Structures are given as C-alpha cells and as structure tokens.
Amino acid sequence: MRVRLEYGKNGLEAELPDANLVGVLKLTPAPPLADPVAAARAALARPIGASPLSELARGRRNACVVVCDVTRPVPNPLLLPPLLDALAEGGLKREDVSILIATGTHRPNEGAELDAMLGPEIVRTCRIVNHVCTDRAAHRFFGVTPNGVPVHLDRTYCDADLKVTVGLIEPHFMAGYSGGRKMVMPGIAALETVQAWHSPRFLEHPRATNGVLDGNPVHAENLAIAKLVPPDLIVDVTLDEANRITGVFAGDLERAWQTGVAFVEKHVRVPVAEPVDVVVTTGAGAPLDATFYQAVKGMVGALPIVKPGGSIVIAAACSEGVGGPDFTRTLLETEDLPGLVEAMQRPGWAPIPDQWQVEELAKAVRRNDVLCVCDGIAPDTLARLFVTPAATVEDGLARALARHGPASTLAAIPKGPYVIPYLAQ
C-alpha cells in the first residue's frame, strides 16, 4: 500500500507491505470552517465564560497578545486581524498592543519568519517581542509552587493591562493537550521554571502522556502556574490535516480550553486492537519536524501501540538539525543515555537545558529500536543520537521487518504526534 507521510514541507510517499499492515491511523476528519475569520469574530464577540473582548478592552491602557512560535502552525494571519479589531473597538490602538511570541525555551523568531507567522502588516504596526527564557531581568517572580517549581513569567505579559493568548489545541506528549494554560507555562516562563517543571519528578509519571489530563502532574502544574497570572481571554483553534481551522474556542482559561479539548478528542484518538511489532510514524511535517528535538514527539507518540522490543521507523526532515545547542551538545557528548537519565533523578542533580527532551528520547529508545529517516542530519551524526539512520522509509522498514520476522505486524501514523493511538481493549 502506498501511504503519504508528513515530512518537511512537501511530504513523502512510502510503500508499506499489505501482508504486514494492520492499519493506517489517521485523524477522523473534522470539516474546515467555511469562513474562519467570521468564526473568530463570532467567538470573540460571544466567548465561553467571559465577556466579549471589545468589552474587556474598555478602559485598559495596553494589551499583550501571546502567540505560538514558529514551531506551531497557528494561522495567526487569519486570527489576529479580528482580534485586533475587537481591541480597537474597545479603545486599544495597535500601538497599544504588544505581541509576545511564546518561544518557551526555543530560539527567537525574526525577519521573514515573523511576516509568515503573523502577517507583514501586523509586524509593521504592532510591537513584537520574543520571549527569552534566559533573560532573568525580563521576568517577574511569583514564588514557588507546592511542588517546588519557582515561577518566573515574562514581564511583557505580567505587566500588561489586558492579557490574551492565541494558541492551538492538539495532542501533547507530556501535558495531554496543548493550548490554553501552556501558552503561559511554559510558553513565557523562565528557563529555571521550565527546568523544574520538566524534571523527572513530573515526566516519569505514567500519566504524563498524550491525551491524558486526569491525574497528569504535568498538566496540573501547567494549570496551577497559569492561574497565578491568568489571561483575561484565550483564543484557541483546532486544525485539520491540511492545517485549516476546524474550530475556534475563545473565552475563560479553563472553560474555553476544555471545550476545545472535548472537540479535539473526538478526532485524534484512534484505536488499535493489539500492540504491533513495527510502527511507521513521522515528526508531523513542517513546521514541527524542523529539528530532531521536536521529532522525539513522534517517537514517544508511537509507544502506546508498539510492543516492548518492537521497532519505530520515524521520518522527520530536521531541516534545522538536531535542535538547540544545549540539547545537541548533551546528546553528542553522552554515551550512556539510560545512565544520564538515572543521574537526573538523583538528589543534588543540577538541571541542564533541554534535559526533558533527553528524558523523553530515552523513553523511546530504551524499550524499542528506533530507525530514523532524515535529510537534515548527516548519518554519522544521527547514529550518535541513539537512533539508527535509514536511507528511506522502505529501508528502515525492511530492516525492522527482517528483525521481527515475516509474520510481524505493522501500523502507520502519517501525522505522527498529532494522532493519539491507543489499545482498544
């Protein structure tokens, strides 16, 4: 069977053997909105559990609008104009609005990248600020949570008279689902805050995974921190496989987001009768698969349906390489990945940047053989990242099937981490 996989900007096709293939796991289609701009205007005028944005803006001196960074395909050029119009109706001009890019611990977004993310006209007329997690002076301190997380949040947001977030609800491999509270934490949190929250104490919990909210300590801490300085209004969208808007959910931090999550759950959860020997998956294509750091999400997303000792074949373009310098250095300087993760859990461990993604990678490779198809990283470097380089999906698949035998079973997930596979029993 010929299957199209999300890979970079253009995707790729792979031939999967029918004799082994038990299923191609896809999102259940949700119809794209016929007029997403009109839907955004309506959502802002009649938000869930909150006053209309134009009313919230009245009497405010300024506003901060938090948006996702370049790694998320949020259609801001469609969403921001109606949002800015609502602010203007309430008396806030564009020069009163700061757009804060929730980079988390990622790199800043600049130049042509900003034009594509936000729209050139908005870049010219609004103040654009990149969150920089390492700039301690750019954050305000709100104490330490009961779980020991020191809370430092971006001043641009904290000092704004009106706070709005614009995000995307999709499966998240640690926090259950993205969007909502994640725009604040970790989106605009200091590195020290993210390191404490992304520690093994939270990530090793069995419920810190895709699609799980109840009992998920990562989600609970996310929400508790966001509620310390909550947005006055959130605007979250859901997207289809072509990144077209299928829903707009505006309103209260919890109520609007939960409504969006309930909508997403109906479309992203896909049952599998029993674990399979091999999973072919992806890093979800551009923009998410720009780095190996992000591609880890696709590996971890396959774990619920692959047998222990099974194989994962992942295609991720990694056009920007391994990831940030700290993540890259840690992996390339590490020979014993399980040993490093064990050390992270010992008392007195000094957190290192991006250690959470190292820990997530370890979850995948310590129980499965991972073969990686990747044009953006040289094979000799890829081999040092605890995965096996493969020239093509067919190459990786042939090796995996040879390892598990002619009767081995195979499932494919073309959208990678955007699908939540689960065992039906």
- Those residues with Cβ within 8 angstroms of residue 293's Cβ, 6 or more apart along the chain or in another chain: 322, 323, 324, 327, 354, 357
**12-15 and 2-5 beta bridge pairing:** antiparallel
Residues across the chain: 425
The single residue listed with the structure tokens 């944005």 is 53
Q: Are 235 and 79 in contact (CB under 8 A)?
A: yes
Q: Which two tokens stand for residue 167?
A: 């995000």
Q: Which of 131, 139, 152, 172 is catalytic?
A: 172
Does 131 participate in catalysis according to the annotation? no
Q: Distance between CA atoms of 224 and 45, rounded to whole angstroms?
A: 27
Q: Are 261 and 169 in contact (CB under 8 A)?
A: yes
SS3 assignment, position 188:
coil
Does 172 participate in catalysis according to the annotation? yes
Q: Distance between CA atoms of 35 and 340, rounded to whole angstroms?
A: 50
Q: How crowded is residue 257: how many other Cβ atoms within 10 Å of its Cβ?
A: 27
Q: In this structure, what is the dihedral angle of CA atoms 181, 187, 192, 196, given to the nearest 10 degrees?
A: 40
Q: Are 255 and 386 in contact (CB under 8 A)?
A: no
Q: Are 272 and 241 in contact (CB under 8 A)?
A: no
Q: Distance between CA atoms of 399 and 233, rounded to whole angstroms?
A: 50
Q: Distance between CA atoms of 300 and 316, rounded to whole angstroms?
A: 14
Q: Are 63 and 96 in contact (CB under 8 A)?
A: yes
Q: Which two tokens stand for residue 172?
A: 């998240």
Q: In this structure, what is the dihedral angle of CA atoms 47, 114, 155, 195, given to the nearest 10 degrees?
A: 100
SS3 assignment, position 361:
helix
Q: Are 267 and 397 in contact (CB under 8 A)?
A: no
Q: Distance between CA atoms of 103 and 69, rounded to whole angstroms?
A: 5
Handedness of CA 272, 274, 275, 279 (dihedral sign): negative
Tell me the catalytic residues: 106, 172
